[in-house]
Amino acid sequence: MRIINRKIKISSFQIIIGSFLAIILTGTLLLMLPFSSRQGTMTPFSDALFTATSAVCVTGLVVRDTATSWSLFGRCCILALIQIGGMGTITLAVLVTHLSGRKLSLFERSVLKDAVSSDHLDGLVHFTLFLLTGTLIAEFAGALLLLPVFLKDHSLLPSIGYAVFHSISAFCNAGFDLTGETAQFSSLTGYTGNALMNLTIMTLIVVGGLGFHTWHDIKDHKLHIRKYRLQTKLILTTTLILIFVPAVIFFFAEYGGMPLGERILASLFQSVTTRTAGFNTTDFAAFSDSGKFISIILMLIGGSPGSTAGGMKTTTIAVLVLNAHGTFRHRDESSAFSRRISDQTVKIASTIFALYLSLFVIGAMVISTVESLPLMTCLFETASAIGTVGLTLGITPQLGLLSRLILISLMYFGRVGGLTLIYAAVPSRRMRNQRMPLENVAIG
Phi/psi of residue 64, each to 5°?
A: -135, 135
Q: Among 70-79, 95-104, 140-149, 214-223, where is mean pLDDT lowest?
A: 95-104
- Give the mean model confidence (pLDDT) for residues 238-263: 94
pTM over 0.85: yes
In a domain, 205, yes or no: yes
Give the Å distances, CA to CA, from 247 to 234, 238, 255: 20, 14, 10
Helix (H) or strand (E) holding 80: helix 72-87
In a domain, 325, yes or no: yes
Helix axes 72-87, 124-151, angle to 10 degrees: 140
The reported pLDDT for the residue numbered 276 is 83
- Give the mean model confidence (pLDDT) for residues 30-56: 95
Residue 128: pLDDT band by 50, 70, 90 thresholds? Answer: confident
Residue 292: pLDDT band by 50, 70, 90 thresholds? Answer: very high
Q: Which residue has the higher pLDDT, 420 or 183?
A: 420
Q: Mind listing the pLDDT tens digit for each residue in 156-187? A: 999 999 999 999 999 999 989 988 654 444 67
In a domain, 442, yes or no: no
The reported pLDDT for the residue numbered 434 is 67
Instruction: Please say whether the beta carbons of 275 and 242 come within 8 A.
Output: yes
Instruction: Please say whether the beta carbons of 64 and 54 come within 8 A.
Output: no
Q: Which residue has the higher pLDDT, 151 or 11?
A: 151
Q: Which long-range CB contacts under 8 A does 158-164 form with residues at least 24 apart?
A: 164/79, 164/139
Residue 309: pLDDT band by 50, 70, 90 thresholds? Answer: confident
Residue 419: pLDDT band by 50, 70, 90 thresholds? Answer: low
Name 37's bridge partners: 70
Per-residue pLDDT for 28 more than 90?
A: yes
Instruction: Please say whether the beta carbons of 319 and 305 come within 8 A.
Output: no
Q: Mind listing the pLDDT tens digit for each residue in 76-100? A: 999 999 998 887 755 665 655 555 5
Q: How far apart are CA 222 and CA 38, in angstroms?
A: 48
Per-residue pLDDT for 115 more than 90?
A: no
The reported pLDDT for the residue numbered 429 is 57
In a domain, 433, yes or no: no
Residue 381: pLDDT band by 50, 70, 90 thresholds? Answer: very high
Per-residue pLDDT for 1 more than 60?
A: no
- Domain total for the chain? 1
Residue 431 CB partners (closer than 8 Å, separation 6+): none
The reported pLDDT for the residue numbered 275 is 86
Name 182's bridge partners: none
In a domain, 444, yes or no: no
In a domain, 441, yes or no: no
In a domain, 241, yes or no: yes
Per-residue pLDDT for 109 more than 80?
A: no
- Give the mean model confidence (pLDDT) for residues 413-419: 78
Give me the domain span that covers residue 28.
Answer: 2-425
Q: Which residue has the higher pLDDT, 368 or 121?
A: 368
Per-residue pLDDT for 306 more than 50?
A: yes
The reported pLDDT for the residue numbered 3 is 40
Q: Which of 104, 38, 87, 89 is nearest to 65 (CA)?
A: 38
In a domain, 49, yes or no: yes
Q: How far apart are CA 87 and CA 196, in angstroms?
A: 26
The reported pLDDT for the residue numbered 176 is 93
The reported pLDDT for the residue numbered 425 is 60
Q: How far apart are CA 420 and CA 14, in angstroms?
A: 8
Q: Mind listing the pLDDT tens digit for each residue in 185-243? A: 467 888 999 999 999 999 999 999 998 889 889 988 988 889 999 999 999 999 999 99
Q: Which long-range CB contacts under 8 A does 176-181 form with residues at least 24 apart?
A: 176/54, 176/55, 176/60, 176/62, 176/66, 176/78, 176/79, 176/82, 176/278, 176/390, 177/66, 177/67, 177/279, 178/66, 178/67, 178/75, 179/67, 180/65, 180/66, 180/67, 180/68, 181/67, 181/68
The reported pLDDT for the residue numbered 438 is 80
User: What mean pLDDT, rounded, does the chain reach?
Assistant: 86
Q: How far apart are CA 221 and CA 224, in angstroms?
A: 6
Residue 417: pLDDT band by 50, 70, 90 thresholds? Answer: confident
- Give the mean model confidence (pLDDT) for residues 230-257: 94
